[in-house]
Amino acid sequence: MISVMTGGDSMKVNYVCTKCGKVEDVTTRAPKCKCGGLWKLQYELPEFDEALIDKDE
Ligand SMILES: [Zn+2]
């Protein structure tokens, strides 16, 4: 069982190249992609199982 109630800090953030689409960790020292494209932030939401949503409200 995977808990989704881990708070907002579990969301992974990556850099993704706007030019070639390469994904890089935000800890990279590179100011931009090797291809010359600029990074943009990509938010990767944790796996979310709809079956876990409490619909009894
Ligand atoms: Zn690139």
Global pTM reads 0.59
Is residue 49 a contact partner of residue 4, using CB atoms and an 8 Å limit? yes
Give the Cα-Cα-Cα angle 18, 11, 29 (nearest 5 degrees).
50
Query: Residue 1 has what pLDDT?
Result: 55
Query: Residue 47 has what pLDDT?
Result: 73
Query: Domains in the chain: how many in total?
Result: 1
Terminus-to-terminus CA distance in the chain, angstroms?
Answer: 22
Query: Residue 7 has what pLDDT?
Result: 57
Query: Residue 5 has what pLDDT?
Result: 59
Distance 2 CA to ligand 1 centre (A): 34
Domain enclosing residue 42, as ranges: 10-46
Contacts of 18 (CB under 8 A, 6+ apart): 37, 38, 39, 40
Q: Is residue 26 part of a domain?
A: yes
H or E stretch at 25 = strand 23-25
Distance 47 CA to ligand 1 centre (A): 26
Distance 17 CA to ligand 1 centre (A): 5
Q: Is residue 39 part of a domain?
A: yes
Q: Tens digits of per-residue pLDDT, 5-56?
A: 555 567 788 999 999 999 999 999 999 999 999 999 998 777 767 777 777 7
Distance 31 CA to ligand 1 centre (A): 11
